[in-house]
Amino acid sequence: MRLALSLMFLVLIISPLSSAQLVFSHDATVPQEVVEGVQRALEEALVERLDKEGELSAVLEEDEMGEYVLSLSYGERQLTYRLLGEASGYEKRLVTALNHDGLSLFASLPDLRLTSFSGRGYGAKIENSLYAEGDRFTVLDAREREQGVVVVSEVAEDEGVLLLSQLSGKPLFLGMELRERGNKSVSLSLSLNKDMDPSLDLIHTWPLPMHPYAVQFGLGATGASRIYGSVGLSAKLPLSQFSSARNPLVRSLSLDASALFSSGYDLSREELFYQASGELGLTYSLTNWALSLSVGNRVAASNAALLEQGLFLKLTTAYTYTL
């Protein structure tokens, strides 16, 4: 151990009841921006995955060639990582490396867990084919706190892998547990069109075994004049399938579409009416809450007259309960 270790700083980071204790020490010769970047990477990619009773020891040293070496130990397990390249990229590269290599520090892992990451989606090894496209999972950390929601976009039975796309939540890391959640849902939504006319809808969504499609049933009311029931097809396509799931905005965005047929009663005209509509929107999801902006085309008519026809713009907020 070199003489510089005698000048090292000792940093204790303790998050009570939420994460493991991180004991982080470094040489006095390591620049402060490098120290802070490494510390953030450890907290983001590793500490939150460890048991809260554990202690992660990290030592950052500068070797004879002027390169930085990070040594990690957790219980009896150890891992060494050499920081290479430009210093400005240390944090990002370390997060990526610890996502994969950090698994070697775990004594045990959940049976059903995230096992691979492609940049735009995740993979999970399975031993049977009980799962189907459209199935959803809650992703949990080591303390069983919800970190996000993923959906099965494809079942690769030959390889025994579920291909997953993130619908919402925080950054996810390999080794995190997958817990099945219902894929059927009931949503209560409030919408406003460009004329500020409100609509209240209760929607039941039943996914089809072909991602991202689902059958949708609904009951609703427009203002105080119309009540109706609806049936149709909908689709929810996570944008993380086309971009980086690490992007905090993209991983919670989805492209939503629907085609519905409705029938109901117009109280102001005292007659039955029929309606067909199609819409396309962008939705931002926060676990159960969602906010969407959509455009569409709608035709409504009664037996006696054409009531409505043309494009519409709609802002919607909804709360979804998973069955």
pLDDT digits (tens, 9 = 90+) for 82-108: 888 888 888 988 988 888 888 888 878
Instruction: Quote the pLDDT of residue 315.
Output: 96
Residue with the larger pLDDT of the pair 269 and 119: 269
Residue with the larger pLDDT of the pair 19 and 122: 122
pLDDT, tens digit (0-9, with 9 covering 90-100), for 250-293? 889 999 999 999 999 999 889 999 999 999 999 999 878 999 99
Judge whether residue 140 has pLDDT over 60.
Answer: yes
Contacts of 261 (CB under 8 A, 6+ apart): 230, 231, 232, 274, 275, 276
Judge whether residue 6 has pLDDT over 80.
Answer: no
Judge whether residue 311 has pLDDT over 80.
Answer: yes
Which helix or strand (DSSP H or E) is residue 30 part of? Answer: none
What does the block give as tokens for 27? Answer: 């040489």
Distance CA 43, CA 105 (A): 15
Instruction: Quote the pLDDT of residue 128.
Output: 78
Q: Which of helix, strand or coil describes residue 32?
A: helix
**Cis link prior to 212 (omega < 30° from 0)?**
yes
Instruction: Quote the pLDDT of residue 253.
Output: 93
- Confidence (pTM): 0.79
Instruction: Quote the pLDDT of residue 263.
Output: 96
Instruction: Quote the pLDDT of residue 125.
Output: 93
What does the block give as tokens for 19? Answer: 């994460």
19 band by pLDDT with thresholds 50, 70 and 90: low
